[in-house]
Amino acid sequence: MSFLELKNVSKSYGGTPVLRDVNLSIAEGEFVAIVGYSGQGKTTLMSLIAGLTKPDSGSLTLSGQPITGPGPDRGLVFQNYSLLPWLTVAENIELAVKAVFPDQTPAECTAHVDKYIAMVKLSHAKDRRPSQLSGGMRQRVSVARTLAINPRILLLDEPLSALDALTRANLQDEISSIWQSDRKTVVLITNSVDEALLLADRVIPLTLGPGATLAASIPIDLPRPRDRKALNHDPQFKRLRAQITEQLLGFGASRTSSTTRKLVLPDIMPENLDAPRVNRPPRRLSEEKQETVVSL
């Protein structure tokens, strides 16, 4: 029996279908990667599994229990880290630990927090605030916070997409080694085929929206531990990468999609005459702007 199961899940926002008839079945201890273009509902899919949004139709179950809302049994690592900027690294993790394990004594709690900070190699930075950390360090804190609440399933929503290539590679290796040591069920959402191939047992491409759905899954039978340098010359790896990339491109690379969102600009009174000159007229609350973002 599958651990996490999605049956005919559909979700639309304001009449635009985002996901249509998504079926997904993940076994316990499995590492599944979902790859797809930006803006095609990957994050929506993650929010649905996390319980942050409700599907219009279809059902989601975690070990047979329907998912009705968010909860600490599904640990979500957010794309933009979501660390609280006014708390230090240790305090951010402590907040989560205290919320999920309220019965711990203060000493147990501190030990618990320290253990996970050490796991992501940030012991030296535990008293710093997120603004004093690099992007990679922030995401490691975010991962530590999620691991510390000991979720039954780990949801990684493009966790590395905002990082530079080197940091990204380092963190991929770290995630890989953490996963190898405790074999938690993981759903990784990514736009990088290489990342998916490096980490996952199974890769599932997401088709293009509107009304995106999951394509047939591709088992990745590369032996572990996977070494990124060796993989580059592995014929099996090359074949899989070509297959998945082609499939993704086949969904319609020439298509572009655009999302329009409403921006309400703050009403600002000029107070400081030293402010640098900007080459645009001052804007006011009365101007509600629309911003259109074109993405492939």
Q: Which residues bind other proteins (CB under 8 A)?
A: 50, 52, 69-72, 74-76, 78, 80, 82, 84-86, 95-96, 99-100, 129-131, 149, 266
Other C-beta atoms lying within 10 Å of the C-beta of residue 255: 10
Dihedral angle computed from the Cα positions of residues 238, 244, 245 and 248, in that order, rounded to the nearest 10 degrees: 180
What is the rounded CA–CA span in Å between residue 209 and residue 39? 8
Comparison of 50 and 197: residue with beta carbon closer to other proteins:
50
Look-up of token digits 């400081």: 272
- The answer to whether 130 touches 92, Cβ cutoff 8 Å, is yes
From the CB of 150, what's the least distance to other proteins, in Å? 13
From the CB of 20, what's the least distance to other proteins, in Å? 24
Comparison of 86 and 134: residue with beta carbon closer to other proteins:
86
- The answer to whether 201 touches 231, Cβ cutoff 8 Å, is no
Q: What is the CA radius of gyration of the chain?
A: 21
What is the rounded CA–CA span in Å between residue 147 and residue 150? 5
Q: Which helix (H) or strand (E) holds 226?
A: none
From the CB of 294, what's the least distance to other proteins, in Å? 23
Which residues, at least 6 apart from 175, have a Cβ–Cβ distance to it below 8 Å?
A: 143, 156, 159, 199
From the CB of 243, what's the least distance to other proteins, in Å? 35
Comparison of 131 and 292: residue with beta carbon closer to other proteins:
131
Comparison of 64 and 102: residue with beta carbon closer to other proteins:
102
From the CB of 1, what's the least distance to other proteins, in Å? 25
- The answer to whether 229 touches 58, Cβ cutoff 8 Å, is no
Comparison of 31 and 81: residue with beta carbon closer to other proteins:
81
| Closest to 196 in 3D by CA, of 162, 166, 237, 165 | 237
| Closest to 28 in 3D by CA, of 174, 151, 142, 144 | 151
From the CB of 207, what's the least distance to other proteins, in Å? 26
Comparison of 166 and 269: residue with beta carbon closer to other proteins:
269
What is the rounded CA–CA span in Å between residue 249 and residue 255? 10
Comparison of 115 and 129: residue with beta carbon closer to other proteins:
129
Please say whether the dihedral angle defined by the alpha carbons of residues 188, 192, 193 and 199, taken in this order, is positive or negative. negative
Comparison of 74 and 241: residue with beta carbon closer to other proteins:
74
From the CB of 96, what's the least distance to other proteins, in Å? 6
- The answer to whether 37 touches 55, Cβ cutoff 8 Å, is no
From the CB of 71, what's the least distance to other proteins, in Å? 6
